[in-house]
């Protein structure tokens, strides 16, 4: 992923994506929708631990991850991923309560999708996550200089 502040993300950019979803039908649907949107799905994880492994292996531009997964949940997986390889994470969940949203904010999750969502909502969430992340990374680079 490029961190040049002049390289602004656009809604038509294409990204490499890791999908983490324990429901295989939902994971396959996510992958199909992401590919139709022009993205490259580089890995599909069935649990949080696999999400961490695949993200560290493939170093995608963005991770789209369910919260409720076996072994470790999406929040823990996002925490482990970002500690080693900072990347924008789009969390998806059937829950829209304040506690869940607050946990996402505490982990610096940039984008949150409430299931069910449309391909258009997925497109916007992915692009906003990447654009926000690029802005955060650029600000950190400038602050460190």
Where does the chain have alpha helices with state H? 24-36, 48-58, 74-84, 98-106, 119-144
1 within a domain of the structure (yes/no): no
In the chain, how many domains are there? 1
* pLDDT over 50 at 14, yes or no: yes
Check residue 34 and give its pLDDT: 97
37 within a domain of the structure (yes/no): yes
105 within a domain of the structure (yes/no): yes
For 87, the token pair is 């990347």
Written as one string, the DSSP assignment of 36-75 is HTT-EEEEEESSHHHHHHHHHHH--SEEEEESS-SSS-HH
* pLDDT over 50 at 52, yes or no: yes
CATH of the domain at 103: 3.40.50.2300
48 within a domain of the structure (yes/no): yes
CA distance linking residue 69 with residue 65, whole number of Å: 9
Contacts of residues 103-107 at CB distance under 8 Å and 24 or more positions apart, as own/partner, are: 103/75, 104/75, 107/75, 107/78, 107/79, 107/82
Q: Which residues, 6 or more positions from 47, have their beta carbon under 8 angstroms from its beta carbon? A: 20, 22, 69, 70, 71, 72
Check residue 9 and give its pLDDT: 55
pTM recorded for the entire structure:
0.82
User: Between 25 and 6, where is the model more confident?
Assistant: 25
Check residue 114 and give its pLDDT: 86
2 within a domain of the structure (yes/no): no
Percent residues over pLDDT 70 in the chain: 76
Per-residue pLDDT reduced to its tens digit, 94-115: 776 677 666 666 666 777 788 8
135 within a domain of the structure (yes/no): yes
Check residue 20 and give its pLDDT: 97
The most distant pair of C-alpha atoms in the chain lies apart, rounded to whole Å, by: 46
* pLDDT over 60 at 66, yes or no: yes
9 within a domain of the structure (yes/no): no
45 within a domain of the structure (yes/no): yes
16's enclosing H/E stretch is strand 16-20
Check residue 37 and give its pLDDT: 95
Q: What is the domain extent for residue 33?
A: 16-144
């Amino acid at each position: 992923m490029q961190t040049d502040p002049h390289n602004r993300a656009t809604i038509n950019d294409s990204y490499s994506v890791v999908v983490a979803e324990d429901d295989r039908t939902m994971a396959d649907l996510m992958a199909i929708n992401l590919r139709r949107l022009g993205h490259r799905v580089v890995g599909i994880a069935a649990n949080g631990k696999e999400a961490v492994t695949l993200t560290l292996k493939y170093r995608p531009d963005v991770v789209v991850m369910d919260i409720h997964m076996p072994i470790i949940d999406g929040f823990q997986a996002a925490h482990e991923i970002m500690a080693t390889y900072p990347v924008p994470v789009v969390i998806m969940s059937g829950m829209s309560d304040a506690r869940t949203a607050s946990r996402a904010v505490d982990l610096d999750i940039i984008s949150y999708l409430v299931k069910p969502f449309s391909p258009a909502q997925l497109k916007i969430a992915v692009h906003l996550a990447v654009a926000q992340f690029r802005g955060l990374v650029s600000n950190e680079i400038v602050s460190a200089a």
